[in-house]
Each structure stands twice: as structure tokens, then as C-alpha cells.
């Protein structure tokens, strides 16, 4: 049991900057979309109004700050940047396959930011396989719960 608690604690400390970076943009209420309103050849927006410069910068700052408080600013910067990049890539994929902003894409919505965060972190800190498995297992329910709470608080239009 002690080993599981240690795994859980170490995994949450590692991934927390990514969780924070991924959730803060909703609070930023940005007005300047990163895709500048541009459309691709398929007629769909590149990313949509949900990915803004303000949200990206707020998420990057707060995610980095969260990790810096634990004493690892470089790691937290990479985690935050990776999480935001992964989320942007997820939005890009959703637009290309015709999923509108705010509509669900199970698994992609919950794990795009985690994949990005862990990939960006890997060159400087390779996370153990046990930690990756733990993070991937706990992220979807945490993500769904926090999105539902944000929806109930009126911060999000949809509960997913």
C-alpha cells in the first residue's frame, strides 16, 4: 500500500503543472484566437475560438508557477508547454475530423494534453512506466470531473 501511495504522490507532483496549464485557459476568457480566425482547405477553422493567446499564456504561466513552487521550474515549464501544445493538437485533429468546438472526442479530450506534457518532459526527465500508467489511468476521470464542475460553475458551455 505504501508503494501505491508513493506512486500516486510522485505521479501527481509530476503531472500537476500540466493539469493546471490545461485548466487555466478556461478562466482566462481570451478574445484573440490563436488561429486568427483562419480556415483550412476543408472550410473548417484551424483551431477555433477556444484556443486563444490569452489562454495559452495564462496556462503556461500558471502551470510553470505551480511546478516552480515544488522546486522544478524547468520541468514545469516543459510540462505546461507540452500540455498546451498537446491540447492545441487535439483541437486541430477534432476540427479536421469535423468535431465542433465544445463537442466531445472521448480519450482525445482527456489525454491529448497529458501526451504532450510527457513528451516535452521526456528529454530532461524520463517518467517511469508505472507513473505513466498511473497518470493515464487517473486523468480521464479527473478531467471529466473538473470539466463538470467548471460547467456547473458556468465557466464552460458543455459538461465534458
Q: Does residue 113 fall inside a structural domain?
A: yes
Q: Is 74 part of a structural domain of the chain?
A: yes
Q: What is the pLDDT of residues 13-68, one digit of tens each?
A: 999 999 999 999 999 989 999 999 999 999 999 999 999 999 999 999 999 999 99
Q: Which residues are within 8 A (CB) of 12 and not within 5 positions of it... i.e. 6 or more apart?
A: none
92, part of any domain: yes
In a domain, 89, yes or no: yes
Could you tell me if residue 136 is inside a domain?
Answer: yes
- How far is 18 from 139, CA to CA, in rounded Å? 11
Burial of residue 44 (number of CB atoms within 10 Å: 0-12, 13-18, 19+): middle
Q: Is 109:144 a contact under the CB 8 Å cutoff? A: no
Number of domains, the chain: 1
What is residue 145's predicted lDDT score, i.e. its pLDDT?
A: 95
Residue in this structure with the C-alpha cell 528529454, named with its chain if needed? 123
Per the DSSP assignment, residues forming a β-bridge with 52 are 33
What is the chain's alpha carbon radius of gyration, rounded to the nearest angstrom?
A: 16
Query: What are the pLDDT digits (tens) for 93-133?
Result: 999 999 988 899 999 999 999 999 999 999 999 999 999 99
State the residue for C-alpha cell 493567446.
53
Instruction: State the pTM of this model.
Output: 0.94
Residue 39: domain span: 2-152
Task: Provide the 3-class DSSP secondary structure of residue 19.
Answer: helix
In a domain, 128, yes or no: yes
- Write out the three cell numbers for 70: 515544488
- Classify residue 158: in a domain, yes or no: no
Q: How much is the pLDDT for 29?
A: 87
Amino acid at each position: 500500500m505504501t508503494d501505491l501511495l508513493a506512486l500516486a504522490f510522485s505521479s501527481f507532483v509530476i503531472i500537476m503543472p500540466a493539469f493546471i496549464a490545461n485548466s487555466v485557459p478556461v478562466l482566462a476568457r481570451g478574445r484573440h484566437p490563436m488561429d486568427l480566425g483562419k480556415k483550412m482547405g476543408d472550410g473548417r477553422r484551424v483551431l477555433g475560438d477556444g484556443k486563444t493567446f490569452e489562454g495559452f499564456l495564462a496556462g503556461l504561466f500558471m502551470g510553470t508557477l505551480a511546478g516552480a513552487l515544488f522546486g522544478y521550474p524547468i520541468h514545469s515549464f516543459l510540462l505546461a508547454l507540452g500540455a498546451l501544445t498537446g491540447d492545441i493538437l487535439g483541437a486541430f485533429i477534432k476540427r479536421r475530423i469535423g468535431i465542433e468546438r465544445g463537442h466531445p472526442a472521448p480519450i482525445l479530450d482527456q489525454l491529448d494534453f497529458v501526451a504532450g506534457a510527457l513528451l516535452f518532459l521526456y528529454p530532461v526527465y524520463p517518467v517511469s512506466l508505472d507513473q505513466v500508467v498511473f497518470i493515464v489511468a487517473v486523468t480521464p476521470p479527473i478531467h471529466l470531473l473538473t470539466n463538470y464542475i467548471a460547467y456547473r460553475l458556468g465557466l464552460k458551455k458543455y459538461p465534458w
